[in-house]
Structure 1
C-alpha cells in the first residue's frame, strides 16, 4: 500500500481530535473519560484479542525481543553519556529520554494493521508486552535525582498496567490451547474495533503547538533524531541480529513512531519540563506524517 494512503486515515483522525478539542465541539470532560475507557477497557481488549490468537515462534521472537531491548538500552546509554558531558539538568533529561524511547501505541497498532494486516498487529502486541515495562523503568530512572523513592511505585504501576495485564493474559490463553467461546470472541472484537479510532482522536486532542516557540530549535533536533536517526539505527541493529524481513520492518516501524502522549503526564508527575515535553510530542506527531513515508522509501 502507498505510504501516503496508509497514513491518511491516521492523520485524518488525529486532525479530527485536534479540531474537536480546539473548537470545543466536545465538552472538556469527554477527553478524560474517553482516555480512561480506552486505557482500561477497549485497548486491553484489542491486545488480548490479538495475542490470544497469534502463532508464537519462540525462537525467532526471542531474537526480536533481544534486538528490541538492545536498541532501547543503547539509546538510553548514549543519552546518559550526553547528559554527563553537557550537564543536562534532570528536569530536561527525563524529557529527552522519553522522547527517544517511548512510543505512541495507538498510531503504532493502527499502522501495523494497515501495513502488515493481522500478523503485524499481533507482532506489535507482543513487542508492547516487552517494551512497556522497560521504557517505563528507564523513563523513571531518568528523573530519579528529583524523585527519590519513586522507582518502587513505578514498578508497582507497571505490574498493574492494564496493557501489560492484557498482554500476559492473552499470551497465557494462547499457550493454554483453550478455545474461546464465539460470543466472547465477538464481544472482544467489537470492543477492540472502537479502540484505535478513539485513541487516534485523543492523540490529536492532546497536541499543544503553542508550546513550540520557546525551544523550537532544540525540539526540531530532538524530533529529527527520533523520527530519522533512531529508525536507521534500528534497521542496522536488526540486520546485525539476522532478523526475518518482516521482523526488521515491524521493529523499524516501532522505533519510527512519535513518542507517547502519556510522556507528558509522567513528566508533570516528576516535575520535569512539561512545556518542553508537550512541544516535543506535538512536533514529533506532526512531522511523523512526513518522515515516515520517506523513511520507508529509504530503507525498504
Structure 2
C-alpha cells in the first residue's frame, strides 16, 4: 500500500498545486488555458514522437495481445458513450470524452512503475510495446469521432493531417529509420519538450478542477471509473488467459495496464475542444483515488506479491 501511495501521491501533488494556486489567486485561468494549449499542441506530440521512434517493435506482431487489450477498450468506450448519452444526456464531443475517459489509461504515473515493479525486466517488452501503440490508437480514434461529426471525409483527413497528436504519430513512425543518425542535441530538445507534458498537464488540470469542481456530480464519473478499473481489466484477463495463447507475463502486463486509472489525455482532449472538461477532470481524479484499492485486487488476482 505504501508503494502504491508513493506512486499516486505525486499526481495529486501537482494537481493540488494547480488547484491551490488558482484558489488563492496566485495563478490565473489564462495560465491554465496556456498550459493546456502548450501541452496538447507541442509537448504531448513530442512525447508521442519520442516514444514511437525508440520503441522496440517485434517483427511478428502479437495479435492476441493487441486484440485482448483493445477489445476491452472498444467495449468500455462504447458503453461509456452509450450510457452517457442515454442516461446523462451527453452530446457531441462530451460523449466522446466519456468514451475516451473509459478507454485511455494513465500509463506514465501508474502503469510504468507498477508493472515494472510487479514483473521486472521480463515485463518491460510487452509494457513499452503497448505504450507505443496505446495513446496513438485512442487519441486518433477520439479525434476522428470529434472531427467527423460535421465534416466531409476530405475535411477529416485534412484536419487529422494537421492535428498535433496525429502529426506526432506520423512523425514518430516516419523518423524510425533515421533515428540513429540524429545528433544528441536534437534528442535533448525533443526530450525536454516531452518531459514538460506531464507536470504542465497536471497543474493545468488542477486549475480546471478549481474552475469546474465536480459539476458532473459523482454518478457519471463513478460509472466511467468502474468501467475503467473493473470491466476493462476483466475483459482483458478473460481474453488473454482463456481465448488467446500468450506468456503469463504478457497477459499480466495487459491486465495491469488496463487496470490503470483514466489518463490525463482525456482531460487534455476535452480542453482542446472545450467540451466535457468537468467530466474528464472529475473522472481522472476519482478513478486515480479508487485505483488504490482496485490495483491491490488485480495484483492479488494475478498472483503477484
**Do they superpose with TM above 0.5?**
yes
Question: Which residue does the alignment assign to 1:114?
Answer: 113
Distance in structure 1 (CA, Å) of the matches to 2:202 and 2:79: 31
Say yes or no: does 1:257 pair with 2:274: no
1:130 matched to 2:141: no
Structure 1: distance between partners of 2:294 and 2:59:
32
Aligned ranges for residues 35-114 of structure 1 at < 5 Å? 35-78=36-79, 89=89, 91=91, 94=96, 96-101=98-103, 103=104, 107-114=106-113
Quick one: distance in 1 between partners of 2:112 and 2:168? 19
Contact 1:49 1:189 in 2 (8 A): yes
1:224 corresponding residue in structure 2: 226
1:164 aligned partner: 166
After superposition, give the CA deviation of every residue in 1:11-34 in whole Å (9 maximum; x if it has no partner). 322222222232222222211112
Q: Select 2:244's aligned residue among 241, 246, 250.
A: 241
Q: Contact 2:77–2:98 (CA<8 Å) still a contact in 1?
A: no
Question: Are the aligned partners of 1:219 and 1:279 in contact in 2 as well (CA < 8 Å)?
Answer: yes
Residues 207, 282 of structure 1: 8 Å contact kept: no
CA pair 225-74 structure 1, distance change in 2 beyond 3 A:
closer
Give the RMSD, CA atoms, in angstroms.
Answer: 3.8
How far 1:151 sits from its partner (Å)? 7.6
Residues 46 and 274 of structure 1, relative CA distance in 2, 3 Å threshold = closer
Q: Is 1:20 matched with 2:27?
A: no
Distance 1:298 1:157, change over 3 A: farther
Aligned to 1:284: 287
Q: Tell me, what secondary structure is at the counterpart of 2:57?
A: coil
* Cα offset, 1:281, TM superposition: 4.8
Please state how far the C-alpha of 1:181 moved relative to its aligned partner: 0.7
Counterpart Cα distance in 2 of 1:232 and 1:72: 11
Give the alignment's TM-score, normalised by structure 2: 0.73
Distance 1:34 1:99, change over 3 A: closer
Q: Per-residue deviation at 1:184?
A: 0.8
In 2, distance between residues paired with 1:100 and 1:286? 15
What TM-score, normalized by structure 1, do the two folds share?
0.74
**In the TM superposition, what whole-angstrom CA distance separates every residue of 1:38-85 from its partner, at most 9, and x where no partner exists?**
22222222222232222221424554443344233333555677689x
Compare 18-27 and 170-179 and name the one that shifted more. Answer: 170-179
Structure 2 residue runs of 5 or longer lacking an equivalent are: none
Once residues 37 and 218 of structure 1 are traced to their aligned partners in structure 2, the CA distance between those partners, rounded to angstroms, is 29
The 2-side partners of 1:171 and 1:148 are apart by 29
